[in-house]
Amino acid sequence: MSVYESTFGFESILGQEQPIRLLTTLLQNGTIPHALLFIGIEGVGKRTAAMALAMACNCKAIEPEHFSERMKIRFDGNIPSDQITSISPCGRCNSCRKIESGNHPDIILLKPSGPFIRIGQIRDLCGTLAMKPYEARLRVVIISDAQAMNPSAGNALLKVLEEPPDRTILILTALQTSDLLPTILSRCQHIRFNPVSRKNLELLLIQRYGANPDEAKIMAIMANGSVSKAVSMINSINRVNWINRRIWLINEVESLPVSSIGSRMAFAEKLSKSKEILAESLEVIKFWFRDLVVCKYHPERIINRDLNDRIQRASEKMKVASLISKIKDVESAQKNIQANTNLRLTLEVLIMRLAKV
């Protein structure tokens, strides 16, 4: 089977065999906890897995014996017993179709409003959870980017985790555990999603999106384990030639220390005018500096392996402290852009900082 044949359910999640095995085991054993925390970098299938679990918990082709006593309700019998073959959602029943289309009243997706998840959003959620589910066996609340909760929102959610509503599962997704309150961490079962292998990303881009092998290889490298980043690059407006753009970005960054103020500002302007691919462009720049650091200690772990000789030469000319500072500068700019600060000014400040020797 190709890496992209299935379009729903657990089979649609690329390169996450271990977390999917754990989720299906929880379903099979009837031991689904009231709160789960999916940890991993952006774009590796955390939200997709949460939706697949919501479908499996409510699919009419799955017997309710797979759910714990606290969550169990009567099977409605709409699906013939000979069609009940596994705990994977069927994708055909009314419940599966509603969830897949985002129209199920008991599958609640909560995400940041701007840069934060605010206490008002959690209070609204608490009001909803005070009522019984409309039609679901198990109501599923998916809180995406839970690290974006401000302290008051986190404390409000803690009350829900301490006294979980009946027939309700909460699934939080986050980049890393250190971004969440320890009290929240202690009340969730953690499931880690790892970066997707470059080989799987290459196959996905070639088989599903028609990328040529050279293009797929470069984009898989730059995606650094993230399916969403790889897909974003292949779907970029006018199918950006990322092989050439990556080299152009690295050339520009390397020349910054000796370039004029006018050239630096022109570079910032060009970046700002390509807003639809800015996120990926900044990742390219960050990976470049990251490789220059890694090359000093573990050269076998560099991301841009096809540029190995160039990376080694550049790495020898720069100190680790300076490189780490530049990586932090890029990350700071990324956060500011996500917070909707002035784009052009943010990029100009970034370029001036990267130009420092």
Dig out the tokens for 124 from the structure: 């609204």
3-state SS assignment for residue 36: strand
pLDDT at 83: 35
Which strands form 35-39's sheet, in the order they lie side by side?
Answer: 107-110, 139-143, 168-174, 35-39, 189-192
What is the tens place of the pLDDT at every residue in 271-330?
A: 999 888 898 899 999 999 999 999 999 998 888 888 999 999 999 999 999 999 999 999
The domain made up of 10-192 has a fold known as Rossmann fold (3.40.50)
Alpha carbon 200 to chain centroid distance? 16
The phi-psi region of residue 77 (left if phi > 0; otherwise alpha if psi is between -120 and 50; otherwise beta) is: left
Q: What are the C-alpha distances in Å from 145 to residues 109, 110, 198, 336?
A: 11, 9, 24, 17
Would the pLDDT of 78 be above 80? no
Distance CA 129, CA 139 (A): 9
The 10 Å Cβ neighbour count of residue 40 is: 23
**pLDDT confidence band for 217 (50 / 70 / 90):** confident
What is the tens place of the pLDDT at every residue in 19-38?
A: 999 998 888 888 889 999 99
Distance CA 334, CA 346 (A): 9
Q: What is the DSSP letter of 34?
A: S
The values of phi and psi at residue 65, to 5°, are: -60, -15
Would the pLDDT of 265 be above 50? yes
pLDDT at 131: 92
Mean pLDDT value of segment 82-103: 76
**pLDDT confidence band for 91 (50 / 70 / 90):** confident
The domain made up of 236-354 has a fold known as Zinc Finger, Delta Prime; domain 3 (1.20.272)
**pLDDT confidence band for 2 (50 / 70 / 90):** very low
Burial (Cβ within 10 Å: 0-12, 13-18, ≥19) of residue 6: middle
Domain ranges of the chain: 10-192, 236-354
Q: Identify which of 113-117, 167-171, 226-230 has the greatest average pLDDT.
A: 167-171
Look-up: residue for tokens 């017993």? Answer: 81
Q: Judge whether 55 and 11 are in contact, CB under 8 Å.
A: no
Q: Judge whether 55 and 87 are in contact, CB under 8 Å.
A: no
CA atoms in the 13 A half-sphere facing the CB of 152: 6
Percent of the chain past pLDDT 90, that is, above it, reads 61
Stated as kind and residue range, the H or E segment containing 141 is strand 139-143
**DSSP line for 142-204:** EETTGGGB-HHHHHHHHHHHHSPPTTEEEEEEES-GGGS-HHHHTTSEEEE-PPPPHHHHHHH
pLDDT at 277: 86
**pLDDT confidence band for 65 (50 / 70 / 90):** low
Distinct helix (H) and strand (E) counts, the chain: 15, 5
pTM: 0.77
Distance CA 155, CA 333 (A): 29
Mean pLDDT value of segment 256-267: 95
Nearest to 195 by CA among 355, 6, 43: 43
pLDDT at 291: 95
The 10 Å Cβ neighbour count of residue 179 is: 14
First to last CA, the chain: 50
Judge whether 10-192 and 236-354 match in fold: no
